Amino acid sequence: MAVKIHIATGVIFLLRNQKHLGMRSIEPQEGSDPDAVLSRIEAAVRAGRLGDALAETRTLPKISQEALTIWIEQAQARHNAVLAANALAERLTAF
CA 37 – CA 42 distance, rounded (Å) = 9
AA letter at 74: Q
Decide if 41 contacts 48 (C-beta within 8 A).
no
Higher pLDDT among residues 9 and 24, named by residue: 24
What tens digit of pLDDT does each residue of 20-67 get? 556 666 788 899 888 899 999 999 999 999 999 999 999 999 999 999
